[in-house]
Amino acid sequence: MADTARAGRRRVNPIGLLLALAFLAVASVGFSGDPWWLLNSATKWVIAGAVAVVGISLLATALPGRNRKNVS
Amino acid sequence: MVSERGRSHADVMSQSQHDSTAGRGAPGGDWWSRRPRRSATDRKIAGVAGGLGRALGVDPVLMRVGFVVLMIFGVGVPLYLLGWLLLPADGDQTSAAESLIGRGRSSVPPVLAVGLAILLMISMGWMFSWGSPFWPLLVVGIIAVMVARNRRENCTGHGGPRTATDDWSARVGQRAQSWGEQAEQWVGRQSWSGSGSSSTVTGDGDTGGRPGGPKSPFEKPPFWEQDGRRSAADGPAAADAPSEPTPPAWDPLGVAPFAWDLPEPTPLPTAPPARQTDRGVVGRVTLGVALLVGGLATAGVFAGWWNLSWAAVAASALAVVAVGLLIGSLRGRGMALIGPGIFLSLVTVALTITGISGVSGYGQHTWTPTTVAAAESSDYVLNGGQGTLDLTQLTVPAGQRADVNLEVHAGQAQVIVPADTTVNAICTTNAGQVNCLDETASGLHKEISPSHPGSSDNGTINLTVHVGAGEAEVTSRG
């Protein structure tokens, strides 16, 4: 039963996820009008966002009902 | 027999352990699965130098010296952090970076891995402070490697080369079959079995093809031999009779073929067919909304409803694609949106560098202001083309100052200043070349601030020239 649920569950596509975040960053550059905004002013926001994304991912994988496969 | 069996079992266990610690696809996998491992014994910090030295056959001390030397040039720290993140340690299933995305176990805790990644970003920022243009190359390289790995895994997942698990399974199957045959032969050699050869035993007490053998105590042969006996002794009519597989009356070792005739495993339930339609739905909806948003923004610019730059228009469509890709990725789909996303990203970056906005201001323009008021009140802005600002006829009285700005988004900006007037110029470009009062610079994000001394009888011109993509040139003419 658990295997059935695991097989039916959709796996997260990490490449698509990273590219989506990169596209959002590029879009923010376009909205700002400053091509160097991301490298100069937004470095701290990029780092904070990356840490936040990792934290949210860890929280999401630890939620009940998303018990991961027991490797051991 | 026992020793051989034990040795084979030990080999199998060793092979299995090696497979479990050698990473995905090993052994005989790609270069990624055969990359060096961080040493668990010869280590000062994380065992990167020890592992690299062991893999390359070099003294780890030399590797450490090399890292220290590279640190002088600002490369050593990022390289060591990369090794810490990307190389698995001895006994680990995978590296710290891969364990963060759930691709195996690593001895590096997730918190430490995140901290290492942050340190890596900061150190690489320092390393590339002298060359920020290399950042996109690095990002593109990482993406290319990940996409290549993903495709290789997809290729080997179905119909690819045999993996270590397949070999182990085949060996176990052959060994089980061998044990079964040996057990069956042992039973056949016993006096109570009465079956010298499984193909020749009969139920009426004969010894079949084993002359001189003991007589079978059973009235009937075992059921697994009835088909052959019928076909050989009873003629075609008996051979056509259906056989009923019934377990033998006495089979303490469970050696009857009936025991080995296990049913086929039930196949795993397949994913619901509705998933096949997710990809198309997410992609079509996302692209549709992106085109709608981009078209609406473009129409608004042309109609004058809002004053959006073309970079913002492209960024609007890109943001929609990014959100669609984000949703699709969380559902395991959305790869079809990567292509449009990359295209829109390039367009957005190009338009941001130029800064083009509006539908006017293209072509060749020449401005020739003669008074300070006229020079300061006019906006010398050109979207694309060549803009020439001739200030040779501008007279600035002594003690006064004229602030003049010229901006060309894509193309060439040329300013001619009088030689007898003091000029303080600031020339910038996002991408291109700057030739400003005999000072030149070229590349990305360049800025120079030269000054030109003039006569004390005239005032000062504070000149600002900006070119998005193209060339900025300031010359003096007497």
How much is the pLDDT for B255? Answer: 67
Q: Please tell me which residue of chain B has the smallest CA distance to A57.
A: B101
How much is the pLDDT for B319? Answer: 95
In eight-state DSSP terms, residue B478 is: -
Residue of A3, A6, A11, A15 to mutate, interface with B, max B Cβ within 10 Å: A15
- Res B2 pLDDT > 70: no
Q: Do B335 and A50 touch (CB under 8 A)?
A: no
Q: For residues B387-409, give the mean pLDDT.
A: 91
Place of tokens 């030109």: B452
Q: Do B318 and A39 touch (CB under 8 A)?
A: no
Q: A2-6, B175-179, B380-384: which range is least confident on average?
A: A2-6
Q: Do B351 and A36 touch (CB under 8 A)?
A: no
N residues, chain B: 478
Q: How many helices and strands, by DSSP H and E, does chain A display?
A: 4, 0
Q: Please tell me which residue of chain A has the smallest CA distance to B147.
A: A15
- Res B300 pLDDT > 80: yes
Could you tell me which of B355, B324, B356, B352 has the C-alpha nearest to residue B339? B324
Highest mean pLDDT out of B109-123, B131-145, B161-175, B250-264: B109-123
Confidence band for B56, pLDDT divided at 50, 70 and 90 = confident
Q: Do A31 and B355 touch (CB under 8 A)?
A: no
Where is pLDDT greater, at B231 or B280? B280
Q: Do B269 and A11 touch (CB under 8 A)?
A: no
Q: For residues A26-44, give the mean pLDDT.
A: 85
Residue of A23, A41, A57, A68 to mutate, interface with B, max B Cβ within 10 Å: A23
Chain A and chain B share a number of CB contacts under 8 A equal to 141
Cα distances from B12 to residues B7, B18, B23, B169, B213, in angstroms, run: 9, 10, 17, 10, 40
Cα distances from B454 to residues B141, B399, B477, in angstroms, run: 51, 13, 12
Q: Please tell me which residue of chain A has the smallest CA distance to B336.
A: A16
Q: Do B132 and A31 touch (CB under 8 A)?
A: no
How much is the pLDDT for B149? Answer: 65
ipTM: 0.73
d(CA B368, CA B355): 25
Residue of B119, B318, B351 to mutate, interface with A, max A Cβ within 10 Å: B318
- Res B223 pLDDT > 60: yes
Q: A2-6, A16-20, B7-11, B346-350: which range is least confident on average?
A: B7-11
Could you tell me which of B108, B91, B113, B84 has the C-alpha nearest to residue B23? B91
**Nearest CA distance, B84 vs chain A (angstrom):** 18
Both structure tokens of B347: 């367009």
d(CA B131, CA B125): 9
Three-class SS state of B176: helix
Q: Do A54 and B114 touch (CB under 8 A)?
A: yes
Q: A interface toward B at CB cutoff 8 Å?
A: 3-4, 7-8, 10-24, 26-36, 39, 43, 47, 50-51, 54, 58, 61, 68, 71
How much is the pLDDT for B29? Answer: 56
Q: Which residues of B touch A36 (CB under 8 A)?
A: 132, 430, 445
Pairing relation of β-strands B362-367 and B439-448? unpaired
Contact between B450 and B465 under an 8 Å Cβ cutoff? The reply is no
How much is the pLDDT for B203? Answer: 42
- Res A62 pLDDT > 80: no
Residue of A18, A26, A39, A53 to mutate, interface with B, max B Cβ within 10 Å: A26
How much is the pLDDT for A59? Answer: 81
Q: Closest to B314 (Cβ–Cβ): which among A30, A34, A51? A: A30
Residue B452's CB is within 10 A of a number of other CB atoms, namely: 21
Highest mean pLDDT out of A21-25, B101-105, B144-148: A21-25
How much is the pLDDT for B28? Answer: 47
d(CA B179, CA B4): 12
How much is the pLDDT for B344? Answer: 94
In eight-state DSSP terms, residue B92 is: -
- Res B274 pLDDT > 70: no
Q: Which residues of A touch B445 (CB under 8 A)?
A: 35-36
Q: A59-68, B79-88, B456-465: which range is least confident on average?
A: A59-68
Where is pLDDT greater, at B296 or B171? B296
Confidence band for B441, pLDDT divided at 50, 70 and 90 = very high
In eight-state DSSP terms, residue A41 is: T
Where is pLDDT greater, at B36 or B19? B36
**Nearest CA distance, A15 vs chain B (angstrom):** 7
Highest mean pLDDT out of A40-44, B203-207, B407-411: B407-411
Both structure tokens of B386: 């060549």
How much is the pLDDT for B299? Answer: 92
Q: Do B326 and A7 touch (CB under 8 A)?
A: no
How much is the pLDDT for A7? Answer: 47
- Res B366 pLDDT > 60: yes
Q: Do A27 and B348 touch (CB under 8 A)?
A: yes
Where is pLDDT greater, at A36 or A65? A36
- Enumerate the β-bridge partners of residue B310: none
Q: Do B329 and A54 touch (CB under 8 A)?
A: no
How much is the pLDDT for B175? Answer: 83
Burial group, residue B84, by CB count within 10 angstroms (0-12, 13-18, 19+): buried
Confidence band for B360, pLDDT divided at 50, 70 and 90 = confident
- Res B14 pLDDT > 50: no
Contacts of A19 (CB under 8 A, 6+ apart): B143, B325, B329, B338, B341
Confidence band for B270, pLDDT divided at 50, 70 and 90 = low
Place of tokens 């730059």: B309
Q: A42-56, B80-94, B136-150, B399-413: which range is least confident on average?
A: B136-150
Burial group, residue B152, by CB count within 10 angstroms (0-12, 13-18, 19+): middle
Q: Which residues of B touch A58 (CB under 8 A)?
A: 110
Greatest alpha-carbon pair distance for chain A in Å reads: 53
* Percent of chain A at pLDDT exceeding 70: 74
Cα distances from A72 to residues A35, A68, B14, B27, in angstroms, run: 48, 11, 17, 21
Over chain B, what is the mean pLDDT?
A: 77
**Chain segment B312-327, per-residue pLDDT in tens:** 999 999 999 999 999 8
Q: For residues A5-32, give the mean pLDDT.
A: 79
Q: Give the amino acid at B327.
A: I
**Chain segment B242-266, per-residue pLDDT in tens:** 555 566 667 667 666 655 566 666 7
Where is pLDDT greater, at B355 or B170? B355
Q: For residues B226-238, give the mean pLDDT.
A: 50
Could you tell me which of B133, B343, B275 has the C-alpha nearest to residue A19? B343
Pairing relation of β-strands B460-477 and B380-390? unpaired
**Chain segment B91-104, per-residue pLDDT in tens:** 888 888 888 777 78
Residue A31's CB is within 10 A of a number of other CB atoms, namely: 19
Q: Please tell me which residue of chain A has the smallest CA distance to B356.
A: A33
**Nearest CA distance, A66 vs chain B (angstrom):** 13
d(CA B433, CA B413): 11
d(CA B260, CA B266): 17
Q: For residues B154-163, give the mean pLDDT.
A: 51
Confidence band for B127, pLDDT divided at 50, 70 and 90 = low
Q: Please tell me which residue of chain A has the smallest CA distance to B106.
A: A71
| Torsion angle defined by CA atoms of residues B63, B69, B72 and B75, in that order, rounded to the nearest 10 degrees | -40
* Percent of chain B at pLDDT exceeding 90: 28
Cα distances from B392 to residues A11, B370, B416, in angstroms, run: 68, 8, 6
Residue of B145, B330, B409 to mutate, interface with A, max A Cβ within 10 Å: B330
**Nearest CA distance, A57 vs chain B (angstrom):** 9
Pairing relation of β-strands B401-418 and B422-436? unpaired
Residue B368 — φ and ψ, nearest 5°?
A: -135, 80
**Strand ranges (E), B69-135:** none
Three-class SS state of B361: coil
Q: Do A26 and B348 touch (CB under 8 A)?
A: yes
Place of tokens 């182990």: B168
- Res B16 pLDDT > 80: no
- Res B176 pLDDT > 90: no
How much is the pLDDT for B246? Answer: 64
How much is the pLDDT for B233? Answer: 47
- Res B351 pLDDT > 60: yes
**Nearest CA distance, A13 vs chain B (angstrom):** 5
Contact between B80 and B123 under an 8 Å Cβ cutoff? The reply is no
